[in-house]
């Protein structure tokens, strides 16, 4: 099919062209119709077509922190693909007991080297597992981090995640070393130097708990493609102009 025929066929289904024909629009009103048509097409692609094709919802997210510095930059767009537990590439640990692990060394100020499991298995944290996007129960945000280990335990299947630029896995709980009085209560101003235990759903809102061990029902998808920096356009429109939230603390990692 020639390009001319493709353009002609597109005009019959283009929402902007349909609006112009139906309402007999011209001039500036036709320009607005084209703009509205573009938003309709983009919404269809993002909310219906892409999720159906990729098996991930949402099909793309924008990186907004430097926790994956050296691999992701603020403003990168990560295209996702749907996956299941077996489809994620990372070291697998099988436990007869409920999910549990410690880290070695057990200190925030040192670079963490290994996950240590009750069955004696050890997994180095520099393993390059797949990058996933998941919804955190404890912090209430969507996180883009790497899978350090997959755990098939007595109480289910879990993913242990960590940002490449972070010393600690997402699911370890850090105690508070210093509190300050604020209006309506207390605020943690300093975290302790060591890890106490794994985070649970009961730790929701706690500053030292980024996430629990991740279950597959919280996974939006795994990384398929990175499109560098174009997400700054989305952040400018939605975060600054529409919501008035401003940019993240850092615009570049």
Range of the domain at 190: 60-233
Task: Report the domain count for the chain.
Answer: 2
Q: Are residues 36 and 83 in the same domain?
A: no
> Under a CB-based contact definition with an 8 Å cutoff, are residues 101 and 160 in contact?
yes
∠ CA 51-136-194, nearest 5°, is: 145
Task: Name 75's Cβ contacts closer than 8 Å, sequence gap at least 6.
Answer: 62, 63, 228, 229, 230, 231, 232, 235, 251, 252
pLDDT at residue number 56:
77
Please check whether residues 17 and 31 belong to one and the same domain.
Answer: yes
Radius of gyration of the chain (CA): 23
Cβ within 8 Å of residue 78, ≥6 positions away = 60, 61, 62, 63, 72, 131, 133, 144, 223, 225, 226, 227
Please tell me the pTM assigned to this model.
0.78
Q: What is the pLDDT of residue 244?
A: 41
| Among 99, 92, 122, 91, residue whose Cα is nearest residue 213 | 99
45 and 74 inside one domain: no
For residue 29 the two structure tokens come to: 């009103």
Kindly state whether residues 135 and 226 are assigned to the same domain.
Answer: yes
Q: Which tokens in the block code for residue 219?
A: 């996974």
CB-CB contact of 41 with 13 (8 Å): no
- State whether 21 and 49 are in the same domain: yes
| pLDDT beneath 50: ranges in the chain | 241-245
Residues 90, 71: Cα–Cα separation, whole Å: 17
Q: 177 and 119 in one domain?
A: yes
How far apart are the C-alpha atoms of 40 and 38, rounded to whole Å? 5
In a domain, 252, yes or no: no
> What does the alpha-carbon distance between residue 214 and residue 153 come to, in Å, rounded to a whole number?
13
């Amino acid at each position: 099919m020639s390009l001319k025929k493709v353009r002609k066929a597109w005009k019959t289904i283009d929402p902007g062209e349909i609006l112009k024909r139906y309402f007999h629009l011209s001039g500036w009103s036709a320009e607005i119709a084209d703009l509205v048509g573009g938003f309709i097409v983009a919404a269809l692609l993002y909310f219906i077509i892409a999720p159906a094709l990729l098996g991930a919802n949402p099909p793309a997210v924008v990186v907004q922190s430097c926790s994956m510095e050296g691999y992701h930059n603020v403003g990168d767009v990560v295209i996702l693909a749907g996956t299941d537990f077996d489809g994620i590439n990372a070291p697998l640990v099988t436990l007869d007991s409920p999910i549990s692990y410690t880290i070695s060394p057990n200190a925030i100020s040192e670079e963490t080297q290994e996950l240590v499991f009750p069955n004696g298995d050890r997994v180095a944290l520099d393993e390059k597992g797949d990058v996933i996007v998941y919804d955190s129960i404890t912090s209430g945000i969507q996180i883009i981090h790497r899978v350090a280990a997959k755990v098939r335990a007595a109480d289910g299947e879990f993913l242990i995640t960590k940002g490449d630029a972070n010393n600690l896995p997402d699911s370890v709980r850090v105690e508070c070393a210093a509190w300050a009085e604020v209006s309506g209560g207390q605020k943690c101003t300093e975290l302790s130097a060591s890890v106490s235990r794994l985070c649970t759903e009961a730790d929701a809102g706690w500053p030292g708990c980024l996430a629990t061990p991740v279950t597959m029902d919280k996974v939006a998808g795994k990384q398929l493609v990175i499109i560098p920096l174009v997400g700054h356009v989305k952040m400018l429109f939605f975060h600054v102009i529409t919501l008035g939230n401003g940019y993240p603390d850092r615009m570049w990692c």
